[in-house]
C-alpha cells in the first residue's frame, strides 16, 4: 500500500513543471487562444507550488472568462500566497461576479489565513449590504478554519 501511494506522489511531483518549465507555461500556454489550453495552464500553475506562478494567476483572476477566473482562484488557494489577497478580495467584493467565484474567493481567503484576508471576511460577514447566503457561507468558512 505504501509503495503505491509513494509512486502516486512521485508521478504527481514529476508532472509538475521544472523551474524553467514554469516560464514556458506562463509565456506559451497562458497566451494561447484555445480556452482549454489556457485552463490547463492555469491548473498546472496552481498546482505547481511555484511562487513565480502567483502573478500570472492574479492576472487571470481579472480575465474575461469566468472559467479562467475560477481556476485561477483555486490555484491561488493552493499556493496560499499573501500577494493574492488583494485580488481575491476584489473578486469577493464584485457583486456582478458569479456567485460561485465569489464563494471560491471566500474559501481561498480563509485558506490563506493572512490578517488582511481574515479581517475582510469578518467585515463581509457582518455587512448588511451583503447577501445572506454569502454571509452564511463566509461564517461557515471562518468556522472551518477556526478563526471565528
DSSP per residue over 66-80, as a string?
A: HHHHHHHHHHHHHHT
* pLDDT of the residue at 15: 53
C-alpha span between 111 and 106 (Å, rounded): 9
Phi and psi for 110 in degrees, rounded to 5? -65, -35
The tally of domains found in the chain comes to: 1
* pLDDT of the residue at 85: 98
* pLDDT of the residue at 6: 44
Q: State pTM to two decimals.
A: 0.81
Sequential pLDDT tens for the chain (148 residues) = 444 544 444 454 455 545 567 777 777 666 778 899 899 999 999 999 999 999 999 999 999 999 999 999 999 999 999 999 999 999 999 999 999 999 999 999 999 999 999 999 999 999 999 999 999 999 999 999 886 5
CATH number of the domain residue 27 falls in: 1.25.10.10
Q: Which domain holds residue 118?
A: 2-144
Site of grid cell 489556457 = 38
* Residues 9, 13, 17: CA angle, nearest 5 degrees: 160
| Residues 101/136, Cβ–Cβ less than 8 Å | no
Amino acid at each position: 500500500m505504501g509503495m503505491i501511494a509513494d509512486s502516486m506522489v512521485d508521478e504527481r511531483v514529476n508532472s509538475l513543471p521544472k523551474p524553467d518549465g514554469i516560464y514556458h507555461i506562463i509565456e506559451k500556454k497562458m497566451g494561447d487562444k484555445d480556452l482549454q489550453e489556457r485552463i490547463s495552464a492555469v491548473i498546472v500553475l496552481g498546482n505547481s507550488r511555484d511562487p513565480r506562478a502567483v502573478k500570472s494567476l492574479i492576472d487571470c483572476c481579472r480575465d474575461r472568462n469566468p472559467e479562467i477566473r475560477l481556476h485561477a482562484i483555486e490555484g491561488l488557494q493552493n499556493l496560499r500566497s499573501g500577494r493574492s489577497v488583494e485580488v481575491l478580495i476584489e473578486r469577493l467584493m464584485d457583486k456582478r461576479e458569479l456567485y460561485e467565484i465569489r464563494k471560491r474567493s471566500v474559501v481561498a481567503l480563509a485558506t490563506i489565513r493572512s490578517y488582511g484576508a481574515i479581517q475582510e471576511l469578518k467585515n463581509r460577514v457582518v455587512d448588511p449590504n451583503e447577501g445572506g447566503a454569502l454571509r452564511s457561507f463566509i461564517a461557515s468558512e471562518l468556522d472551518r478554519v477556526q478563526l471565528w
